[in-house]
Copies of this chain bind each other. A is one copy, B any other.
Amino acid sequence: MSKPAKPLHLHPDRLFPAEASQRAIARQLYAQVATLPIISPHGHTDPAWFADNLPFANASELLLVPDHYVFRMLYSQGIALDALGISRADGSRAEVDPRAAWRLFAAHFHLFRGTPSSLWLNHVFHEVFGLRMRLNAASADHYYDSIGEALQRPAYLPRALFKRFNIEVIATTESPLDDLRHHRAIRDSGWDGRIVSAYRPDPVIDPEHEQFATALRAFAGISGEDVYDWDGYLRAHRQRRAYFASMGATSSDHGHPSAATADLGRERARALFARIVSGNFDAGDAELFRAQMLTEMAAMSLDDGLVMQIHPGCLRNHNRQLFHRFGRDKGADIPLRTGYVQALKPLLDRFGNEPDFSLVLFTLDESTYARELAPLAGHYPCLRLGPAWWFHDSPEGMWRFREQTLASAGFYNTVGFNDDTRAFLSIPARHDVARRIDCAFLAKLVAEHRLDEDEAYELAVDLAYRLPKQAYRL
């Protein structure tokens, strides 16, 4: 505990290649994009923050407890979730002094060396809170106090931070069961921050979700449709999508275990749905229903113009004991090998050539970048590739994404960066990392004479700003 904390720097050249000629180019490219507004078309911030504009509680509640990137690493080294005050499945929490939790985190901050979490957190510490010593056991209290005091100041209220972060637009993610009251409150408040929703219907689409039956009942309630009838169920989706769109949403999002799609035809789909709502279905039915619903969502996209996103390939809640005690989203979601070529064919056979349809694909299986995703996106007019996602949202992961998709998809079949985070304070850090890596990547191409500088400048701005705006119709 006695090791003194060292100075904390954010070097202006961080993440740029060490070789001088590339670094010089990267620096110049980055200068063009460093201060561009942030387009955040996909994420998980809580709209209540911006509706209520109340102060965040303290360092632990803000930065530790809600961030499963962070506490899963501590857990992997033997620190109990209860010692950090992580909330349990039943809603209770161990009685933990948030300062004690913070000290535990601080004493183990070396575990994050080299990881994206350390990049993001140090950026937040340095840029948002003005801290100048590294976090460790010795500086833990100083951090806890400094952050705690800052959070009480008006400049640290959610709306002030939104403005300070230069966010042009941010999308949150809500289920069809959400009445979007916070979005409405923001709109009614007259505040001019642009917060939009995204339509995420997984709970009413995934028959294996533990709350599917409950969700379906609520879906009936909120839509007024007979959602136990196939046509009524589809009408309920159309209606909620329209409502989301009226509240600014420009996209839907689908987090499925696989990328499977299906195109069953009306009668088979209706019969499948009947099995699903009867509760008398097997795993194959559930997978087929999710697959069919992706195609149904695509059909609706053609009508209402919502950009469609698929985030497939994660086995959620891998740790059975932990799931029972602590519930979902506790850092135990593990990627799966994921196939796209056969999986997407039914949907693409039907809509792949539609000029107005737009489908953004993500993956947790990097072996598909060069083999499947880039060739698909380099052909189908409707397809675009989402950025390196989740476990791959790191400097190395972003580099691999560019390196493995460039040949077949080029830059223009990708959608630029999106942060996919609920860690609001880390959003500038995440976009900064992405911009730096893209500039570093472009600098390499320039230094190796594969791209002229003027092209690289244009691309740097395209990747940081124009492409996400365009791809998400924002």
Band of interface residues on A: 35 or more
Q: Within 8 Å of chain B (Cβ to Cβ): is A420? A: no
CA–CA, A451 to B119, complex, Å?
Answer: 9
Q: In the complex, how many angstroms separate the beta carbon of A87 from the nearest chain B beta carbon?
A: 18
Chain B residue, CB-CB nearest to A112: B410
Q: Within 8 Å of chain B (Cβ to Cβ): is A406? A: yes
Q: In the complex, how many angstroms separate the beta carbon of A83 from the nearest chain B beta carbon?
A: 12
Q: From residue 339 to 381 of chain A, which have CB atoms closer than 8 A to chain B?
A: 339, 341-342, 345, 348-349, 352-353, 355, 364-367, 370-372, 374-381
Q: In the complex, how many angstroms separate the beta carbon of A263 from the nearest chain B beta carbon?
A: 11
Residue in B134, B375, B378, B445 whose beta carbon sits within 8 Å of that of A114 in the complex = B445
Max count, chain B CB within 10 A of own CB: residue among A375, A381, A397: A375
Q: Within 8 Å of chain B (Cβ to Cβ): is A210? A: no
Residue in B6, B364, B372 whose beta carbon sits within 8 Å of that of A335 in the complex = B372
CA–CA, A396 to B381, complex, Å?
Answer: 25
Q: In the complex, how many angstroms separate the beta carbon of A122 from the nearest chain B beta carbon?
A: 9
Interface residues of A (CB under 8 A from B): 6, 9, 11, 13-19, 21-22, 72-73, 75-78, 110-116, 118-119, 134, 315, 318-322, 331-337, 339, 341-342, 345, 348-349, 352-353, 355, 364-367, 370-372, 374-381, 383, 391-397, 403-404, 406-413, 444-445, 447-452, 454-455, 458-459
Q: List 16 A-B residue pairs with CB atoms under 8 Å apart, sorted by A's residue number.
A: A13-B448, A14-B449, A15-B450, A17-B448, A72-B379, A75-B379, A75-B381, A110-B458, A115-B408, A335-B371, A366-B367, A394-B406, A396-B403, A396-B404, A396-B406, A397-B407
